Structure 1
Amino acid sequence: MAELAVDKHVKYILAVEKNKDSFESVVMDHLRMNGAYWGLTALDLLGKLDSVNVDEVISWILKCQHESGGFSGNIGHDPHILYTLSAVQVLALFNKLDVLDIDKVATYITGLQNEDGSFSGDMWGEVDTRFSYIAICCLSILCCLDKINVEKAVSYILSCKNLDGGFGCTPGGDFLLCGSSCSYGISALC
């Protein structure tokens, strides 16, 4: 069995971040926070997290934070619960959660919990069980689970269970084979 070409992987991950003029980079600009999380996690798994400038990454992340406390996918975009989790995960990866106003971030997330226990992804109100996962994971990392109604959140998630045992995006929704939460991965931080 061949060895993993660590240096080539590191070179590729770092090159993706530097290549901001390509078509792919431009159309994915709004997802950069997620890309940062996945790229930095890969570097960490490869033992090469030190190949990035931590201060530059943190500075960029903080520029993506809105007055609401939530984070956007990149500077100049709207905040969303998904990008907020990725920002918190990256800061946790660097052991830099102390740069956050944790109450402000937690208030943003708790403000997205609906009366039925579900979570909206952003101010536009889309509801999906993946947002429940994201909210719970993010608040868990920040040690702020007590700021939401966990009982209602669990009840809502259970209401999304289907006859086949899978969970839909909303009550009565179909199970997705590689469902919503799967596409966001389960962080070792949660």
Structure 2
Amino acid sequence: MDLDAKKHTRYWQRCLRSLLPHQYTANDSTRMLLGCFTVAALDLLGSSDLLTDDDRRRYREWVLSCQHPGGGFSGGSTHAFPRGVYSSFDFVAGEPEVGARGEANIAATLFALQLLALLGSGKTQPETETSESECVFGGVDRNATLRWLRQLQRPDGSFGEFLVDVADPASPSCRKRVIAGGADMRYCYIASMIRWMLRGDDALFARDSPAWVDDINVDALVAHMRRGQTYDGGFAESSSHESHAGYAFCAIAAMELLDRPAEGGPAQSSALARGIADLPGLMRWLASRSFVYQTGNDDDNTDSDSDEEWHESVVSEITTSDSLTPSCVVGFNGRCNKHADSCYTWWTLGSIAILQRNDLALDYKEDTSANWDASRRFLLTQTQHVIGGFAKTPGGAPDIYHSYLGLASLATHGDAALKSFDPSMSVSLDTVRAIEAGRRGLLRGLTDKGASRREAFLDMAHALNK
């Protein structure tokens, strides 16, 4: 069975052009994610020309309107304070101590930057000496965002989600700044992506250069991720938590990005060697996420104790190529003894793809490749929906999250209907090239010659949120 690209394109067109179902109401704070996945999916399907120049201009204006003057982006326009709230703030000096810092968050910042790259169109930008492709980050306050990102890192190397001021009677101002949110691998991964997208090559800049911003503590970040590997070989928030395929992917991709050159694609990553304490254990754990999916149970109650449902959920042996038949369907779970889920096909196979291109997949490379046809059947025969998109589980309705990660799985393995894909950045290679060009434009704008152009872009962004 093949990917029905036309149906998937129509599904994403509906997500772009019409109101989303009422179930998405609770996702208002993550609107930036929904927009990014929608445009990125159309890009993967080779259908980004469905966005008109006016679409691109309006969407860019919306993204920039969510930029926080202290760095970072909020998840949507309803979660951003008016610009006047910050009229007396100096975010470089960190004064005053008490302020409304909390609406910019690390995930929204990543999706905002990726969305700007996806929307890149020189026709919507002011006249500059840079090429059209180098204007995609026009209006982004690079230095403020990198300073803000550094403030989100804790002393133990982990990253939080956002900054907030809380009551503290012991402080002279009776308030203190707190790094809020969890400390798991998702934020490590997102921080690594933002750093790679905006930072560039430090060797090109002197410390007194306008482009210089102190880096995050890379060694502490790698050490934090290393401490997250558990007894069974997987990754969790810490070694005492349950391992999870999503966390494993985030840790692996983050480590590769920490060593990635600014241009030219990934190189062999020393951070992977330093950050993975037990590589054989990790490979065994990733391989054991796959199992032969028992078809024909789609109408079963998920709470049922039937033998068929229980058999489908329990993984007792690693699925290997010699145990498969031409009709086998291989699903993936993200944790031990859980049901198959379309997104875990991506989290697992994306992890292995990154390890393979760093020559770290050990002896599991052959089995994983042989299992792909059976894994592909799970996506296309069990979770691909008749109206397009992918469902979380067989028999379910499609949603934006699982629909994008289903495409990501197929694109990573070179599906003919999709563009080439970069698993570490989770977007097409075309988008990665746009990010690289946008970074060049940002850094050029930080030179003395480019200062006026940079101010023009920032003035445009500030005007959007007055």
Aligned to 2:30, what secondary structure does the other structure show? helix
Which residue does 1:17 correspond to in 2? Answer: 16
> What are the superposed Cα offsets for residues 70-121 of structure 1, whole Å, 9 maximum, x if unpaired?
1122112222101111111112232512331111111121110111111001
Which residue does 2:50 correspond to in 1? Answer: 51
The yes-or-no answer on 1:135 pairing with 2:180 is no
The alpha-carbon deviation at position 16 of structure 1 amounts to 1.8
Indicate if the aligned counterparts of 2:74 and 2:109 stay in contact, CA closer than 8 A: yes
Which residue does 2:41 correspond to in 1? Answer: 42
What code does the residue aligned with 1:34 have?
Answer: L
What code does the residue aligned with 2:69 have?
Answer: E
Given candidates 134, 150, 171, the residue that maps to 1:110 is 150
> How many equivalent residue pairs?
189
Which residue does 1:74 correspond to in 2? Answer: 76
> What are the superposed Cα offsets for residues 108-142 of structure 1, whole Å, 9 maximum, x if unpaired?
21110111111001122422121011001111011
The yes-or-no answer on 1:4 pairing with 2:4 is yes
The yes-or-no answer on 1:166 pairing with 2:222 is no
Return the alpha-carbon distance in structure 1 between the equivalents of residues 146 and 239 of structure 2. 26
Shift in CA distance, 117/97, structure 1 to aligned 2, threshold 3 Å: same
Among all aligned residue pairs of Structure 1 and Structure 2, give the percentage whose two residues are the same amino acid: 30
Which residue does 2:247 correspond to in 1? Answer: 179
Shift in CA distance, 140/3, structure 1 to aligned 2, threshold 3 Å: closer
The yes-or-no answer on 1:97 pairing with 2:99 is no
Shift in CA distance, 147/24, structure 1 to aligned 2, threshold 3 Å: same
Return the alpha-carbon distance in structure 2 between the equivalents of residues 69 and 61 of structure 1. 14
What code does the residue aligned with 2:139 have?
Answer: V
Which residue does 1:31 correspond to in 2? Answer: 30
Return the alpha-carbon distance in structure 2 between the equivalents of residues 151 and 2 of structure 1. 44
Indicate if the aligned counterparts of 2:74 and 2:104 stay in contact, CA closer than 8 A: yes
The alpha-carbon deviation at position 48 of structure 1 amounts to 1.5
Indicate if the aligned counterparts of 2:158 and 2:183 stay in contact, CA closer than 8 A: yes
Question: Could you tell me the TM-score, scaled by structure 2's length?
Answer: 0.37
Aligned to 1:98, what secondary structure does the other structure show? coil
Q: Report which of the two structures shows the higher radius of gyration computed on alpha carbons.
A: 2
CA RMSD across the alignment: 2.5
What code does the residue aligned with 1:90 have?
Answer: L
Return the alpha-carbon distance in structure 2 between the equivalents of residues 75 and 2 of structure 1. 39
What code does the residue aligned with 2:36 have?
Answer: Y
The alpha-carbon deviation at position 156 of structure 1 amounts to 0.8
The alpha-carbon deviation at position 22 of structure 1 amounts to 4.1
Which residue does 2:170 correspond to in 1? Answer: none
The yes-or-no answer on 1:119 pairing with 2:159 is yes
Return the alpha-carbon distance in structure 2 between the equivalents of residues 69 and 20 of structure 1. 30
Return the alpha-carbon distance in structure 2 between the equivalents of residues 3 and 136 of structure 1. 32
Indicate if the aligned counterparts of 2:229 and 2:235 stay in contact, CA closer than 8 A: yes
Indicate if the aligned counterparts of 1:34 and 1:86 stay in contact, CA closer than 8 A: yes
Return the alpha-carbon distance in structure 2 between the equivalents of residues 59 and 104 of structure 1. 19
Tell me, which stretches of 5 or more residues in structure 2 are unaligned? Answer: 80-102, 121-132, 164-179, 203-213, 251-346, 348-400, 406-422, 436-466
What code does the residue aligned with 2:30 have?
Answer: L
Indicate if the aligned counterparts of 1:20 and 1:26 stay in contact, CA closer than 8 A: no
Return the alpha-carbon distance in structure 2 between the equivalents of residues 56 and 71 of structure 1. 17
Aligned to 1:28, what secondary structure does the other structure show? helix
Return the alpha-carbon distance in structure 2 between the equivalents of residues 135 and 152 of structure 1. 13
The alpha-carbon deviation at position 171 of structure 1 amounts to 4.3
Q: Which has the higher contact order (CA 8 A, sep 6+)?
A: 2
Shift in CA distance, 30/20, structure 1 to aligned 2, threshold 3 Å: farther
Tell me, which stretches of 5 or more residues in structure 1 are unaligned? Answer: none
Aligned to 2:240, what secondary structure does the other structure show? coil
Aligned to 2:147, what secondary structure does the other structure show? helix
> What are the superposed Cα offsets for residues 20-39 of structure 1, whole Å, 9 maximum, x if unpaired?
47412422221211111111
Indicate if the aligned counterparts of 2:184 and 2:247 stay in contact, CA closer than 8 A: no
What code does the residue aligned with 1:157 have?
Answer: M
Return the alpha-carbon distance in structure 1 between the equivalents of residues 112 and 105 of structure 2. 11
